[in-house]
Structure 1
């Protein structure tokens, strides 16, 4: 599998609920600088990215 095909696969298993969870965590983190907002691993990330980076990008 080449990198181009890998970059368009995947996503959230439950797009609405998972996107809302990530959005809320990002907003809480921005509203409370220095606080840690954990995110569950929703998707298996491609090699150069972390699960958190992939969730935010999605």
Structure 2
């Protein structure tokens, strides 16, 4: 089943808002990359279908 364009657009908006917010808070660029990478990993974990063993 193919996905829709809604999820990727929402992801881009979320990352952009998160980046802008961290910039406004004057968070170090290295820490920003860690936070955004963590948010992406969490999103991937939530998006993963349940796997039963």
Q: TM-score, normalising length from structure 1?
A: 0.37
Q: TM-score, normalising length from structure 2?
A: 0.40
**Greater share of helix:** 2
Larger Rg: 2
